[in-house]
Structure 1
Amino acid sequence: MPMNEQPPWGKKKKPAGPEDFLAILIQKIRDAFSGQGEGPAPRNDQGSPSSEEPPNLFAGAGKILAIVVAALILQGAFTCFYTIKPGEVGVILRFGKYTRTTQPGLHFKIPFVEDLAKVDVEKVRKEEFGFRSRNASASTAFDRKGYDFDRKGYDMESLMLTGDKDVIEVAWIVQYKVSDPVNFLFKVRDVAQAVRDASETVTRRIVGNMDFDYVLGNREVLAASAKRELQGQMDRLECGISVVTLQLLDINPPEQVKPAFNEVNEADQDMKRLVNEAEETYNKVIPKARGSAKQIVEEAYGYAAERTNRAAGETNRFKAIVKEYQGTEDITRQRLYLEAMQEILPKVDRVYVIDKSQQNILPLLDLTRASAKEQQPVAK
């Protein structure tokens, strides 16, 4: 037999599991109350236990009490110190009443008098409407690839009615953080449900006040307005949260009306294209026509001003001549005659001089004019 092995009669039977250990502990407690834990009972001459002295019940109770007190002391020693991790805060309650808030680090609390509740104030919590995330570890609401947009089972969350009585499906997400741990723990029983109810109320009211086309094209404006109103409601309820993001992720008409909706969109795009083409033609033709009309009007104004000024000048000239003529008739008549001849004679090819003493007409030989004609080249 090896040296490290004990014979079967020398081995101690160990408990096989927690159930056996619990059964042994209960048996020991029973033995302590019955006085069997003080050693073997005295026996009489026949070898049977003597029953003259009653078992010492107080001795067993004292042992149990000492064990319980020791366990309570050890538990208090272990629970009086606690650690708050980074990103968390500790809320201390003394007999159920809020006492203080502790920051990350090692702290002390009175055991059995003060209770601790830890709140993660850096964690971004989220609530999804109209869909559920396929991957629970999705890091951001803007990564649409990490989401499952299968709407089966969530139609009642996403279906809404717009201001022009059209049905639309809106999927959105709300992200928030804890800003006041005390209000977060004690003011509202279920903060997540309060966020869901308030967000649905705000979003449905905003979408219900807008037209279908406005909702499709202005999701950022609607999301910002919904975020402000949701934060206001959370502040009035004293939920102790701060809304980080309210994002409208998907806005579409219901599946049953998508073909008709696409046809309407195509017709609307064709209408806009034709309108743009008409406006382009209008912008080309109308300004040109307006410019031509303005040019004609300005030319007419200029012509009228020219004729008017010329007529006024001629009138003033005639009046001046009349005035001079009335003073010196002979000189004025002679000057007028000379000016008329100066203007007419250069245009006359032949000039005849008539003398009263002569009976025949004497032609005036203009050598200068004749020589000028001779110098002109003859066309071949």
Structure 2
Amino acid sequence: MKKDNLEMAWQEPKDSQGGPSGNDGRKPHGQGNGSGPDLDEIFKKLGGAFRGKGGHGHKHQGLGKYVALGGAVLLCGWLATGFYTIDAGQKGVELLLGQYHATKDPGLRWRLPSPIGDHRIIDIQRRFSQKIGSIAKGNRRAAMLTKDENLVDVSVEVQYQINNDKPMQYWFTSVDPDKTLKEVVDSATRERVGQTTLDDILTDGREQLMQEVKELAQSILNNYEIGLVITNVNLEDAQAPAAVQDAFSDAIRAREDEQSRINQANAYQSKVHEEARGEAERVLRQAEAYRDSKVAQARGEAERFNRLYSAYKVSPEVTRERLYLENMEEVLQNSNKLYMGSGSNNLMMLPLDKMMNGSGMNSPQESNRLLAPKTETPAAQSSVTESVIQVQPSNVNDSRSRARITR
């Protein structure tokens, strides 16, 4: 009886969608009045598939393994996106949920993948540069007021880099750190220019002015903690107002000429000092050479005297005669004298040396007169005697030492 009732229930007419048309064509309780799937049935089927139960247990069990394997691969790939590399000269700043987490040194690093974690690479060795005051505003550069109430147009170049110790400040402290630095340097320049005279800015006070600007700007940046370090501040140009530009240009040229003259004077001074030192050294060397020559000459004369003395002890007469002849030869070597022995005849000697000289040639009559034989009269002999010098040394033998010295 129960079996017949069950068959009759399954054989009831169905609606247009294949369901039983009981209850006035309405679907059974729990299926609703729409055409969507039953969520309870779907969850039951999925649970059975993962548990390996049901009529298709083996098929559902293999599908679960593939799903788990795919999920593991996706998880590993997602975690692998957290690896990154930091090169030399760089530093990494890691973020966790948008907040600063840590600073990393160069090398291979890992952080939590996005969207949980993130990182920033900062080049700490790069040098940045900005020019301040060189951008025209209304066809005029930024003018600044000096200590002596003059206007000056100043162009400054600032060079800076990211702080090596605190690179995270560059990212998190200020919205635009570069613009902040530019405004700070401009403010510091105006303050220091206001404490400096125009003459110092245009002439020899530039280096000190830029050093003061650098120190003041760096102090302000440290208070702001924006992670920037100023390396150098250069004054590219500084011009006086147009009304006094010519006068200041003349003053600058005069100072340059003064410095040029000073440099020339220093160069000349160095040159003269070097020449004086060289001349003094040369005189000293000459004096030393003269001293050495005199010492050598004195030693030679002393040696010669010793040898003569040795010879004199052996033969006094011969030594005295040789010394006499040597001295006479040395004394009379440049005089026009004739030496004759006392036993020779009184012959008229011709001045051959003068006759050989073109300017001293005698006339033919004079030559004949000189060559003509004549006898000497007592008066002539007396005149000859007056022009003859008798040399009779007492220490020389009469047969060899008597001589007549005739002009």
* TM-score for the superposition, normalised by structure 1: 0.45
Decide which structure has the larger Cα Rg and report it.
Answer: 2
* TM-score for the superposition, normalised by structure 2: 0.43
